Structure 1
């Protein structure tokens, strides 16, 4: 299967089942085609992007002791994972000139995003909230549309959104454990392990594609489009160890930690 055909299926199929269908093997990248930048992905009617501020906020902390709030959390996170999958398909379309090794490697991350979407939507359904029964936002998709090159993408999705998830997955694991929901906690731990590898993938390619001799931290910041900033890569609690596991150097980690706002908010 051609990478461009897989990206097209993820972006243009209105069927959630088709979006979450892994690519057929073997994968080739012989016909990437011209650059294309679709404004929005096709989605089923019940998963169309909602108007601003109409999607439910993410429940957290003691609120997650209620099964209904646990279901909402999984519904929100399923949409986050689905958007990440769609953004990666967008990158394959938008930057056909990117190194083939990067494009093929991105497919492995996309398979994980498909898996994560399924994990969250199935748990939401078990808790009484079928995926698509609530409005969903487009925040990750919209912020990624500002990406003008692969380095922009690497700074935005792997190093900010997935970087932030290094904290959030651990935070939500603990919220669910506190609520006695071991199954949801296990989902968060499994996704956390994958996110370490996704951040590693992004950081490795940032180092490969940045100008020779340039600084990782400076390149990362230069390729963020406002309102995204380095502090957006931080959750409510900053965790050093998963970032070390993802390959971040001590100076990068220190500067990232130091970018948090004075009141501790990321």
Structure 2
């Protein structure tokens, strides 16, 4: 009997070790693309994904300051933080597809499994770069709050889309160009090329979120802008902080009128 897409996604979410999760996420996306998985949701998603023993996860308030990333240790801290973001992003994309795919349809599943594969590739590139710098993922502590957005929005696909791709990933569009410039100015051309690749891919990821969110809003008979503002105000506590990368956000389907009203 052919394996279901839900079972494959659940298996990837429960892969804890970084290499295992990367391989599992890429395999699910590949098997879906090649028609090897049945569109069926016969198992539930786990309440939380498996995690490796390291890095140690700390509350945001306990995270050490990492500076601007110019010293060797500063560069390691920067790329470790980025690797952790991408590692958790694998699970965010997998959970999006597995938790809401039955109601949202095959196109939704295809989009977010492709996101999961991209995030797995980003993580692998960053971890390899960390190793070239004399470190590895897990050596430093990491932020524990990234999964909270998923847990907070586990019962509403609109809220999940509003917060994860349209706020958290969109924030990456704002900060990555400045980080890229600092990395390149420090002579790390390999790191800069990795960040360029991530930025290009994240524009597409945010666009997936914005497009599916607009479709949900239409189905609910609400305007996308008003629904997004209401859901972000309810489910996201961090506030939207400028400066914004308006051109990248526009390319991703986010108009300035949408997010400027919530800027703080």
* TM-score (norm. length: structure 1): 0.85
- For residues 69-122 of structure 1, give each alpha carbon's deviation from its aligned partner in whole angstroms, at most 9, with x where no partner exists: 111111111111111111222233432333221012111111111011112111
Task: Find out whether 1:36 has 2:41 as its counterpart.
Answer: no
Determine the structure 1 residue equivalent to 2:223: 215
Of 28, 51, 54, the match for 1:46: 54
Query: Matched residue pairs, number?
Result: 252
Q: By how many angstroms is 1:195 displaced? A: 0.7
Aligned partner of residue 138 in structure 2, secondary structure: coil
Q: By how many angstroms is 1:226 displaced? A: 4.2
- For residues 149-180 of structure 1, give each alpha carbon's deviation from its aligned partner in whole angstroms, at most 9, with x where no partner exists: 11111101110111101111111111112222
Cα distance between partner residues in 1 of 2:149 and 2:262: 20
Of 250, 256, 260, the match for 1:257: 260
Aligned partner of residue 64 in structure 1, secondary structure: coil
Q: 1:255 to 1:154 in 2, by over 3 A?
A: closer
Aligned partner of residue 45 in structure 1, secondary structure: coil
Determine the structure 2 residue equivalent to 1:264: none
Aligned partner of residue 68 in structure 1, secondary structure: helix
Contact 2:97 2:108 in 1 (8 A): no
Of 131, 144, 166, the match for 2:173: 166
Of 144, 148, 162, the match for 2:150: 144
Determine the structure 2 residue equivalent to 1:182: 189
Of 86, 89, 93, the match for 1:84: 89
CA RMSD of aligned residues (A): 2.3
Of 94, 113, 134, the match for 2:119: 113
Q: Within 5 A, what are the aligned runs for 1:194-213?
A: 194-211=201-218
Q: For structure 1, list consecutive stretches of 5 or more residues without a partner in the other structure.
A: 262-266
Structure in which a larger fraction of residues adopt helix: 2
* TM-score (norm. length: structure 2): 0.86
Runs of 4 or more consecutive aligned structure 1 residues displaced over 6 Å after TM superposition: none
Determine the structure 1 residue equivalent to 2:18: 16
Q: 1:56 to 1:8 in 2, by over 3 A?
A: farther
- For residues 170-195 of structure 1, give each alpha carbon's deviation from its aligned partner in whole angstroms, at most 9, with x where no partner exists: 11111112222222111111111001
